Amino acid sequence: MNKVILALGWLALAVSGNALALETLPIQGSDVATSWDSLYNFLVYLSIFFFILVMGAVVYFAVKYKAKPGVKARYITDHHLLEGIWTFVPFVLLMVIFVWGYVVYEKMVRTPSDAYEIRVVGKQWLWQFQYDDGRTTINEVFVPTHRPVKFVMTSTDVLHSMFIPNFRVKQDVVPGMYSSVWFEANLPGKHQIFCTEYCGAAHSQMLAQVIALDEVEWKEWSRGKKILTESIPKAGTRLSDASGSLRTTDQTQMSAAAPTLSLVEQGRAHFKGKGCVACHSVDGQAKGNLGPTLKGVFGNPVALTAGGSATRDENYIRESIENPMAKVVKGYNPVMPTFKGQLSENDLGALIAYIKSLQ
């Protein structure tokens, strides 16, 4: 009897622990977060159901078929129907979990074409954010609500990893290449960012915040105003005024923060300053066999001298700048010098933004 009581105690503890896990998840700041949580809750409840079913059966059979003096257990060979059921049911459940997970994963990794892009640079031990208007912020990134936002990320030193719990998105940030992650914030306010890849002594202090702004605040910030972030609470705790719209920051606390050049204009300046115009045109007309035109090339495939093809995305452009001999475009001479070490991460981001704009 003591063993039965102990088993029931462990059963109750496991069920209560799983129930507690469902109540301690971060807030759902995006549709992707809601989708992942639905799958997670399904897995937890499914686990609870089968845990109770299996452990309950163990306890029941332990009591009912307890060894008794003079009673010999009947030998059972097999039961094909029962074996078929406990094979088929888990198979169906695993297929449901797989398809469900794949659908949510595809939604998470397929960035909408109209996403607002922000360039991110991770370094020991901070996050730098670069916007299309040329402004940069450190450890704070301003985004609009109800609009897809894409982070194009790289690192200047070691491997980092950006994790935004409220949006349920995480992506490694790798030196020398670009990775990306996207989200659509549904809740205005502050959302915590962590680095989840050990990156040195101050790894635990590599923190930042996504500051999701409502429509009014975003328009103010986009016009070059600087919002005092101390007046913005954490997401999910923000109060509403009588009209039902979210409370905006007091505009008397804003100051002008207009940049000198947009990101594309900075890239155009680097394009001219580094002499790229000598070999590459931006009007669709190639300059002999020195270098291909850059008009309308971004995102499109290109044939290579060594055979095969490549897609001209951020990583291809970066590699062509830093290691131009790696993938020479078919029909052109391998004469481009390397610019590795001559451009900062911000400069590279601006140059790529300019090439992307040449549509």
- For 15-57, what is each residue's pLDDT tens digit? 555 555 556 788 888 888 889 999 999 999 999 999 999 899 8
Query: What pLDDT, on a 0 to 100 scale, did the predictor assign at position 68?
Result: 81
Give me the pLDDT at residue 45, please: 92
Question: Dihedral, CA atoms, 295, 298, 300, 304, nearest 10 degrees?
Answer: 80
Alpha-carbon distance of 172 to 159, in angstroms, equals 7
- Residue ranges of the chain whose pLDDT lies below 70: 1-23, 237-259, 287-288
- The whole-angstrom separation of Cα 215 and Cα 257 is 19
- Per-residue model confidence (pLDDT) at position 254: 37
3-class SS shares of the chain: helix, strand, coil, % to 5: 40, 20, 40
The structure tokens 């074996």 sit at 83
- The pTM (predicted TM-score) of the whole model is 0.77
Tell me the domains of the chain and their CATH numbers: 2-109 (1.10.287), 116-256 (2.60.40.420), 263-356 (1.10.760.10)
Whether the CB-CB separation of 261 and 273 falls below 8 Å is answered with no
Confidence (pLDDT) at 239: 46
Q: What is the pLDDT of residue 332?
A: 82
Scan for tokens 């406990």, then name that residue.
Answer: 86
**Which pLDDT score is estimated for 129?**
94
Question: What integer pLDDT is reported at residue 20 of this predicted model?
Answer: 52
Q: Are 111 and 150 in contact (CB under 8 A)?
A: yes
Task: Tell me the two tokens of residue 173.
Answer: 């940030």
Q: pLDDT of 106-133, one tens digit each?
A: 988 888 988 999 999 999 999 999 998 8
Contact 359, 272 (CB under 8 A): no
The DSSP output letter for 197 is S
pLDDT of residue 9: 54
Calculate the dihedral angle through the C-alpha atoms of 279, 283, 284, 289, rounding to the nearest 10 degrees.
-20
